[in-house]
Amino acid sequence: MIEKRILGKTGLEISAVSLGGVAFTWLDKQRSEKLVNYCLDNGINYLDVYAGTGNKIGNILRKRRSQFFLSTRGTLKTIDGCLKDLKVDYFDIFLISMVDSARQYQDALEEAQLLEKAHKLGKFRFLGICTHNPSLYARIIKDRAFPAIMLPCNCVDEINRQIFDGAKRAGIGIIAMKPFAGGNLTNHRASLKYVLNTKVATALIGMTNAKEVKENLAILAGAKTITEQDRKYYEKIRKKLGKTFCRYCGHCIFPKPCPAGIPIRTIMMLETLAYQANLRRTVSDETLSTVKNCKHCGQCEKRCPYHLPIRKLLPQKVATYLRMTER
């Protein structure tokens, strides 16, 4: 039996490893449905998916809806479209996302009040919040306005133990996104053990095929004691990534895109995209060349919750991608 954990005061008993839906944005329908079926057949019972992928997974979600817990993100204005797209009648957790500043958090609290209408109509069971900003964690927990919080948790983003303890006391369940730091962590065993040893309800992983699912479930089923070798890896990777680690939150291009037309989030994700495509080049030369159009306005860096030197990193990301995918 796969290990399950309680998601705070929601009472939902969810698998300690769960499926993130990022892969459905590029997998075809057949492989997407195969992935969902494999996860459900092997005990994974929590899926977090994106609206807009319903043409690939909507039918299988509707067919097997009673066998899993489902979440997505949106607002009162988008929830009906999300339900229709994904072909389901309700979400177990509906997340307010892109909450990475004090102003955005205040907006989220107001949105939560608006969403109460949808809650009463049975469109979702529990309301959650998604943030990448560590400075907001304590406030969110203190306010207790959301029974579930989704946040990055991995061996690079160390989270103060008091946050986990406070969330537990408040009955707030933690959904750990980016346990492999968006593909930056290649020692999956050590990385996943780190997350599972924290007080999170589940590690949300953007798996792409049965092989990856099987590997992660084997880690979950095995010994999870952190060894000295694991600690050395954590120390090494923290030094390597330093202050250049992008969490792919998308705030660099939100609410307006780059004025120079650079798809910044895509460029920052290039290494991950290379790994996902088995080192095949899937990003066009035209897209890569947009980096040369940078006007150095700094808009992206002002928006970044982690204050990354994005203007400096963009050409570096392109150069690394070209080396990784050299034909």
In degrees, rounded to 5, the angle at the alpha carbon of residue 273 between the alpha carbons of residues 268 and 279 is 125
Domain boundaries, the chain: 4-239, 251-324
What's the pLDDT at 280?
Answer: 86
Spell out the residues 6+ positions from residue 248 whose beta carbon is closer than 8 angstroms to its own: 178, 182, 265, 268, 269, 272
Model pLDDT for residues 58-85, shown as the tens digit of each residue: 999 999 999 999 999 999 999 999 999 9
**How far is residue 134's CA from residue 261's CA, in Å, rounded to a whole number?**
29
Q: Which of 49-58, 75-84, 111-120, 246-255 has the lowest mean pLDDT?
A: 246-255
What is the average pLDDT value for the chain, to the nearest integer? Answer: 95
Peptide bond into 255 cis (omega under 30): yes
What's the pLDDT at 248?
Answer: 81
What's the pLDDT at 116?
Answer: 97
Task: Identify the band that residue 269 occupies on the pLDDT scale cut at 50, 70 and 90.
Answer: confident
**How far is residue 279's CA from residue 277's CA, in Å, rounded to a whole number?**
5
**How far is residue 145's CA from residue 278's CA, in Å, rounded to a whole number?**
42
Query: What CATH homologous superfamily does 4-239 map to?
Result: NADP-dependent oxidoreductase domain (3.20.20.100)
134-143 and 161-170 helices, crossing angle to 10°: 20
Going through the chain in order, the beta strands assigned E by DSSP cover 4-6, 13-15, 17-20, 46-48, 69-73, 91-96, 124-130, 148-152, 173-177, 202-205
Contact 42, 65 (CB under 8 A): no
In degrees, rounded to 5, the angle at the alpha carbon of residue 30 between the alpha carbons of residues 26 and 35 is 75
**How far is residue 208's CA from residue 256's CA, in Å, rounded to a whole number?**
30
